[in-house]
């Protein structure tokens, strides 16, 4: 049987109204998995993503939840379980970005970054764990700046949060290995989504510095995420998907 035949499985992808999360929902749906689309503010885009997923013949639900909030993260998991009875794949993707020099970064900026990425992943994973089926996989979305030096200034809070997700991944993988649940991370390089279109200046110039001379697409990252979610013999690993950076 192909690893990629996901008929009857359930994938919960946080922050999947748009960007990499939305592409990941579609990559799961194309392979037959039922999907949960989570959004925080982009309601309309979340419903569009769910509708596109359904066009592949799967079931899709949409749940509004700020993953950094325990009650809302719990509701996200509870509604998933109510709809599908359990979870096979959890992708902790929800994220924010802010380009700001460290000297200007106050405790509120710092906390918001850690709250969304690190507390968010912890909240959803902690609540979901009793419902993740044996053979399932968790994928945390880190970043190339969580594992390698930043390409420029202004990313200290972001890269600290993304590096924390690497520790979360490798330690949780050890803790869950004998329960038949794998935990991995994908660390994307620059990927063409609203996050960088709004957040990073001079993208064309920046793209020239990438060895393959172009910015990645959300679909290319989504394929790597599904691979890490379903591969039965990979756990505790971080896959960098960055065009060679």
Ligand X SMILES: NC(=O)c1ccc[n+]([C@@H]2O[C@H](COP(=O)([O-])OP(=O)(O)OC[C@H]3O[C@@H](n4cnc5c(N)ncnc54)[C@H](OP(=O)(O)O)[C@@H]3O)[C@@H](O)[C@H]2O)c1
Residue 34 interacts with ligand X (CB under 6 A): yes or no: no
Residue 21 interacts with ligand X (CB under 6 A): yes or no: yes
State yes or no: is 89 an active-site residue.
no
Residue 10 interacts with ligand X (CB under 6 A): yes or no: no
Task: With contacts defined by CB under 6 A, name the span among 89-97, 106-114, 172-180, 226-234 that binds ligand X.
Answer: 89-97
Residues 6+ apart with CB under 8 A from 102: 153, 156, 157
Task: With contacts defined by CB under 6 A, name the span among 8-16, 77-85, 121-129, 173-181 that binds ligand X.
Answer: 8-16
81 vs 91 by CB, closer to ligand X: 91
**Which of the 8 DSSP states describes residue 64?**
E
Residue 243 interacts with ligand X (CB under 6 A): yes or no: no
Q: What are 126's two structure tokens?
A: 């902690």
Question: What is the spatial distance between Cα 20 and Cα 175, in angstroms, rounded to a whole number?
Answer: 27
CA of 208: how far to CAs of 31, 190, 205, 212, 214, in Å? Answer: 34, 12, 5, 8, 7
Residue 20 interacts with ligand X (CB under 6 A): yes or no: yes
20 vs 128 by CB, closer to ligand X: 20
Residue of 66, 113, 118, 128 interacting with ligand X (CB under 6 A): 66
Task: With contacts defined by CB under 6 A, name the span among 10-18, 53-61, 105-113, 202-210 that binds ligand X.
Answer: 10-18
Question: What is the spatial distance between Cα 163 and Cα 167, in angstroms, rounded to a whole number?
Answer: 7
Contact 157, 113 (CB under 8 A): yes
């Amino acid at each position: 049987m192909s690893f990629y035949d996901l008929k009857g499985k359930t994938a919960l992808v946080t922050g999947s109204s748009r960007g990499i999360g939305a592409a990941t929902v579609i990559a799961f749906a194309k392979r037959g998995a039922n999907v949960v689309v989570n959004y925080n503010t982009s309601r309309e885009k979340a419903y569009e993503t769910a509708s596109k997923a359904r066009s592949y013949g799967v079931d899709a639900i949409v749940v509004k939840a700020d993953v950094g909030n325990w009650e809302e993260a719990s509701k996200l998991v509870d509604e998933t379980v109510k709809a599908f009875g359990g979870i096979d794949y959890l992708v902790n993707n929800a994220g924010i970005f802010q380009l700001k020099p460290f000297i200007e970064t106050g405790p509120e900026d710092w906390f918001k970054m850690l709250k969304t990425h690190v507390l968010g992943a912890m909240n959803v994973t902690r609540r979901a764990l009793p419902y993740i089926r044996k053979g399932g996989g968790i994928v945390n979305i880190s970043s190339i700046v969580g594992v390698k030096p930043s390409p420029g200034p202004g990313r200290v809070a972001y890269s600290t949060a993304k590096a924390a997700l690497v520790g979360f991944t490798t330690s949780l993988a050890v803790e869950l290995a004998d329960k038949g649940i794998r935990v991995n991370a994908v660390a994307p390089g620059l990927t063409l989504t609203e996050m960088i279109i709004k957040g990073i200046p001079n993208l064309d110039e920046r793209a020239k510095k990438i060895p393959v001379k172009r910015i990645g697409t959300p679909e290319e990252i989504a394929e790597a995420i599904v691979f890490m979610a379903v591969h039965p013999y990979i756990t505790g690993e971080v896959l960098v998907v960055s065009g060679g950076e």
